[in-house]
Each structure stands twice: as C-alpha cells, then as structure tokens.
Amino acid sequence: MNTVTVVDHPLVQHKLTLMRDKNRSTKGFRQLLHEIGMLLCYEVTRDLPLEMTEIETPLQTMMAPQIGGKKLVFAPILRAGLGFVDGMLELVPSARVAHIGLYRDPATLTAVEYYFKAPEDVADRLVIVIDPMLATANSAIAAVERLKERGVQNLRFVCLLAAPEGVAKFHAHHPDVGIWTASIDSHLNDHGYIVPGLGDAGDRMFGTK
C-alpha cells in the first residue's frame, strides 16, 4: 500500500537533468522522454510473473521463463502521456494501449474527461497508467477511478516527476496503486506546476509554446 519507487538509475537521473534544462530543444526533449519511458518501463515491469515453457535451442530442449498472463495495457493520459508510449512499446511491443483524454481546467485545476477508449477486457489485465507529471494528481486520480469503474483491479502509475502533494493526494484516493517516478520534487506552486520541475511537459514535447 502507498508504495512509491523513485527510479534512481544514473541514466534516468542524467536524462532527467537534460530534460529540465529550459534550453533543451523540442526534438531533444521528446527523444529523452522516449528514452526515459523505456527505462521506467523496465523498472515498472521488474516483478512481472514468469512461467516456464518448453523450447528447443539448437542443442537441446529446455524449460525457459517467459512472461505469463494477459498482455499489459499502457494507459497514457492525453496528451502528455503519449510521450512515454512509444518507448514503452519498444520494450513491450505486444502491450495494448488505452487512451484517457483529460484536461486540467485552468481555473479550478480539476480534471475534465473528453475521451476514454480501452480494450474490452481491460478488467482482466495489468494496466499501467502513464502521465509525465504527477502535480495536483487530479487527472491521475480521475483516470484510475475511470479504470476501476471498468473493473480493473491491477494498476500501476508511472510518471517522470511527482510533487509531494500529488503523491499524498493520489495515495489518499488510491493507496493500492503503486507509483514509479524519476523524482519527487520540492513542491507545487500556486498555478499547479511542479517546482523546480521542467515546465509544461505537453508544451515542451509537442513544441506548442
């Protein structure tokens, strides 16, 4: 319950520092997000159960481990969550993808849903919800709520940066959903931005500012 894993691998920390730099180009930011997406995916899938299967090597038959159960679902929260998906799919190419469209009302900072599409049997799968920034946590809480309404019981949340306020609020609503992040920053400012953070992740990856 309430588990938070800060992925302190040197490659993740190095790439995150490059991304925080306000002079990083859109192209560079996007590439780094892709790379960190792969590395965070590696960590969030670390304890997936393996099952033994018989294969034939060129020399003999053997029992060898493979990941068991149904394919994973990656569930990016639009739009910034999309930045992680390609990197994660490179590591887990057979994963399904659910899209959850939520935007943050700038006045109230609450999450407003405008799109939701998930595999029909999503309830039977491990769902990894993805959003680079866990700030107020309103979107993350709403996304997980939506998936739980669909019957999903096995959920994890991956982000690049988290604010302590966001972590606490998320776990107050969803203590059963573990968080994987590259950093827990200092605090949220009055506009709901993570400080020191890296600015608006969506704008920086899509070049919309």
What residues are designated binding site for uracil?
194, 199-201
The binding site consists of 79, 104, 131-139, 194, 199-201
Residues 123-142 that bind ligand URA (CB under 6 A): 133, 135
Query: Closest approach of Cβ 40 to ligand URA, in Å?
Result: 17
Kindly give the residue spans of alpha helices, DSSP state H, lying in 112-196. 138-149, 164-173
Angstrom distances, CA of residue 139 to CA of 35, 105, 186, 195: 24, 10, 20, 18
Closer residue to ligand URA, CB minimum distance, 130 or 133: 133
Size of the site for ligand URA (CB under 6 A): 10
Under a CB-based contact definition with an 8 Å cutoff, are residues 195 and 183 in contact? Answer: no
* Interaction mask 185-204, ligand URA, x per CB under 6 A: -------xxx--x--xxx--
The residue annotated as part of the active site, out of 26, 104, 124, 150, is 104
Residues 15-34 that bind ligand URA (CB under 6 A): none
Q: Let me know if 45 is a catalytic residue.
A: no
Closer residue to ligand URA, CB minimum distance, 83 or 87: 83
Please count the residues of the chain.
209
Closer residue to ligand URA, CB minimum distance, 126 or 198: 198
Query: Closest approach of Cβ 191 to ligand URA, in Å?
Result: 8
> How far is residue 8's CA from residue 10's CA, in Å, rounded to a whole number?
6
Query: Which helix (DSSP H) or strand (DSSP E) does residue 11 occupy?
Result: helix 10-20
Closer residue to ligand URA, CB minimum distance, 72 or 143: 143
Which of 45, 69, 70, 78 lies closest to 146 in space, CA to CA? 78
Cα dihedral sign, 86-92-98-104 = negative
Q: Let me know if 30 is a catalytic residue.
A: no
> How far is residue 153's CA from residue 162's CA, in Å, rounded to a whole number?
23
Question: Which residues contact ligand URA (rule: CB under 6 A)?
Answer: 80, 133, 135, 192-194, 197, 200-202
Q: Annotated active-site positions, please?
A: 104, 108, 200, 203
